[in-house]
Amino acid sequence: MHIVYTGADWQKYWLNSLKSDKTIGLVPTMGALHEGHLDLVRKAKSETDIVVVSIFVNPTQFNNQEDYDNYPTTINEDLDKLRKENVDFVFLPKTETIYPEKPELSINFGDLENVLEGAFRPGHFNGVGIIVSKLFNIIRPHKAFFGQKDLQQTGIIKRLVKDLSMDVQLVIVPTKRENDGLAMSSRNLRLSSEERKQALILINSLEKAKQELLASKPWFEVQNHINHDFEEMPLASLEYFELIHPESFTRYSAFDAKQKSSICIAAYLGKIRLIDNLPIIP
């Protein structure tokens, strides 16, 4: 496994892959790797010849400085995990390499800025758009692999690729879950034991809502049930719980079994913010 720290380091490997007509797969991460990330790696290895995993905690996508400062870093453990997966390259840049100067460019994703993550994390998607664009420009992958847990993030990256005619294919991999159903997330490492137990309210809420919708209960009634459930959890607070179209992210006021739909949730367990989603009608 080769570790590269700059675009110039990577360039010679990229030229060699170009000459040998090998395909490149990119798995962008912020480190603190778990089985969800490794699922992406395995998918990339099955579909491309050369796999590059980037590890970079991107400051421009954090709208909360405390969240950025406390984001878990486990670089030695991460590298060990990637060696065991026989990853070809790890791109491990420093912040000053990616951002020698503060970027002046800003990216507006239109209606996606005003719902769900866009509404509650102003500037977040601009930061995501900039770092993904940088990684695509540096690594020049044929395919890039992302997890479905960050559903809205995959939506904005799809829009980025489409609107800027980027020559990369996006592969979205289903959410990897713990045995009890909690979506795997690097932020789970920051949960206390009691917060970890109560964090199951996210997946439990999604599954309960899905059952109730498919049993023809009105959406407003379903939302009220979930709000009540959160009120019973002393460490959990609900930020949003929305029924949406999984591609346009339009919010629905009622459930229609003839339309594609997913439920998205964001909640705090203590100070730790977690998100999840569940398709209702794929």
- Does residue 33 have a known ligand-binding role? yes
From 2, 37, 142, 245, the catalytic residue: 37
Q: How far apart are CA 157 and CA 155, in angstroms?
A: 5
- Does residue 116 have a known ligand-binding role? no
Sign of CA dihedral 4, 6, 9, 12: positive
Q: Say if residues 281 and 222 touch (Cβ distance below 8 Å).
A: no
37 among known catalytic residues: yes
Beta strands at 24-29 and 2-4: parallel, antiparallel or unpaired: unpaired
- Does residue 2 have a known ligand-binding role? no
- For residue 50, give the nearest of 142, 159, 179, 116 by alpha carbon: 142
- Does residue 187 have a known ligand-binding role? yes
- Does residue 270 have a known ligand-binding role? no
- Does residue 148 have a known ligand-binding role? yes
Beta strands in 137-258 (DSSP E): 143-147, 169-173, 236-244
- Does residue 153 have a known ligand-binding role? yes
Q: Provide CB contacts within 8 A for 192, sequence distance 6+.
A: 270
- Does residue 259 have a known ligand-binding role? no
Q: How far apart are CA 43 and CA 34, in angstroms?
A: 15
- Does residue 185 have a known ligand-binding role? yes
Instruction: Name the binding residues for (R)-pantoate.
Output: 61, 153
Instruction: Name the binding residues for ATP.
Output: 30-37, 147-150, 184-187
Q: Enumerate the active-site residues.
A: 37
Instruction: Name the binding residues.
Output: 30-37, 61, 147-150, 153, 184-187
Instruction: Name the binding residues for beta-alanine.
Output: 61
